[in-house]
Amino acid sequence: MPITIADVAARAKVSKTTVSRVLNGKGELDESTAARVRAVIDELGYVPSSRAVGLARGRTRVVGMLVPSLTWPWIGDVLQGAVDVLETERYGLLLFTCNRGEESMRQFGAQVSAKSFDGLLVIEPEGTLDYIATLHRRGLPVVLIDDRDQTSGEIPSVGTTNHDGAGSAARHLLEIGRTRPLVISGPEKFGCTQQRHAGFASVFADGGHPIAEDRLFVGDFTFDRGAEAVHTALASGVEFDSVFAHNDLAAIGAMQALLDSGRRIPQDVAVVGFDDIPTAAHTQPPLTTVHQPLREMGEAAARTLLAHFEGTPLPNRPTVIPTTFTTRPSTVA
């Protein structure tokens, strides 16, 4: 049978409360009594429940993380960044997904009520922002990893430069002589879609090549929609010499459709994505893309939360980590 706190108390001839105080470092204790309790703990090999000790200290040393789904191609990089920081500081991670919709959120809510974690990192599942904001107002420390660039500023967040990143893609295409891009956007309601389109379109407009309406396709960040946009443009006779997709998955779909139609990449059509997911370096040809600092965003969010646990106020403005541009053979042969 496992050794219990009662066994330690009986062997040390003290109360269970005294043993608890020794374990948690709370209350004034005679040093000889504390030493005797620690000696018995070592002798019996007693290992206290980390959860029980954490609750007694008012801290679980566990961070919750809420994400839409683990199937998103870039979630793993953000998650790894957060885990690297948490494990270094000896915190655990309790991961929640929204794969089952309302049922998943009910289970998540039960863990919030049980105070199973000290704070929360969030990649916002669609439609949950108001609920997350309510939890934050009620005292749960929250840091949003803001891939959609649509927060009001109420919740502390870590984001990136969607507008400038898309602008760098536009400048690259103009530098290599491509003036008629086909643009495959993300969902219009997302802030990141609006900023990526604005950043890209403004550079082309300033260069004297405004984006024509027939070369703008609203997508959904999927491979299939990227391929569909290219097939539709080709069938409609839309002339384009390049593709800018608002994410890598749609860009890869566009590349497949171009190759299926006999177009050469980049000789006939240059292709640029956004994210720099691991697959981007291994497409044929490898994909030029805007690199989102995904792992760095996870690290920064975790550090922000842990600093708050140590007394640093949560920031009242977003933490912004800039994008960079990665050139590969999908634009430059």
- Give a yes or no: residue 332 inside a domain: no
Determine how β-strand 324-326 pairs with β-strand 288-291: antiparallel
- Give a yes or no: residue 328 inside a domain: no
Distance CA 293, CA 104 (A): 28
**154-208 pLDDT, tens per residue?**
889 999 999 999 999 999 999 999 999 999 999 998 889 999 999 999 999 999 9
Query: What range does the domain containing 29 cover?
Result: 5-56
Q: What percent of the chain has pLDDT over 90?
A: 66
146: pLDDT confidence band, cut at 50, 70 and 90? confident
Place of tokens 């860009």: 251
CATH code, domain carrying 299: 3.40.50.2300
Q: Are residues 123 and 194 in the same domain?
A: no
Q: Where are the strands (E) in 187-295, listed by range?
A: 216-218, 242-245, 270-275, 288-291
**Helical H runs in 240-293?**
248-260
Place of tokens 């080709």: 234
| Domain boundary pick from 32, 56, 80 | 56
235 membership: H or E segment, kind and range: helix 223-236
Angle in degrees, CA 72, 140, 116, rounded to 5 = 75
Q: Are residues 166 and 289 in the same domain?
A: yes
70: pLDDT confidence band, cut at 50, 70 and 90? confident
Q: Are residues 79 and 89 in the same domain?
A: yes
- pLDDT on residue 101: 83
Residue type, 196: R
Q: Are residues 197 and 257 in the same domain?
A: yes
Q: Which is nearest to 216 in space by CA: 180, 174, 264?
A: 180
- pLDDT on residue 100: 86
Through-space distance between the first and last CA atoms of the chain, rounded to whole angstroms: 68
Distance CA 311, CA 200 (A): 41
Q: Which is nearest to 144 in space by CA: 222, 82, 58, 71?
A: 82
**5-53 pLDDT, tens per residue?**
888 889 989 988 888 787 766 666 788 888 898 888 878 877 665 455 5
- The pTM score is 0.80
- Give a yes or no: residue 330 inside a domain: no
> In whole numbers, what is the pLDDT of the chain averaged over residues?
90
Q: Total domain count for the chain? A: 3
- pLDDT on residue 59: 75
**83-109 pLDDT, tens per residue?**
999 999 999 999 999 888 888 888 888
Distances (CA, A) of 147 to 25, 96, 321: 41, 17, 12
Q: Are residues 187 and 254 in the same domain?
A: yes
Q: Are residues 144 and 36 in the same domain?
A: no
- pLDDT on residue 31: 83
Distance CA 216, CA 209 (A): 14
Q: What percent of the chain has pLDDT over 70?
A: 92
Taking each helix axis as running N to C, give the angle between helix 294-309 and helix 75-88, from 0 to 180 degrees, rounded to the nearest 10.
40
- Give a yes or no: residue 46 inside a domain: yes
- Give a yes or no: residue 327 inside a domain: no
Radius of gyration of the chain measured on its C-alpha atoms:
26
Q: Are residues 176 and 274 in the same domain?
A: yes
pLDDT of residue 54 exceeding 60, the answer is no
| Contact (CB, 8 A) for 38 and 22 | yes
| Contact (CB, 8 A) for 305 and 119 | yes
Interval 242-269 mean pLDDT: 98
253: pLDDT confidence band, cut at 50, 70 and 90? very high
Higher local confidence (pLDDT), 57 or 306: 306
Handedness of CA 75, 77, 78, 82 (dihedral sign): positive
Task: Output the six-digit token pair for 277.
Answer: 């997911």
Q: Are residues 156 and 99 in the same domain?
A: yes
Residue type, 53: V
Q: Which residues pair with 96 in a beta bridge?
A: 66
- Give a yes or no: residue 21 inside a domain: yes
- pLDDT on residue 28: 67
Higher local confidence (pLDDT), 82 or 34: 82
Distance CA 309, CA 91 (A): 12
Interval 310-317 mean pLDDT: 91
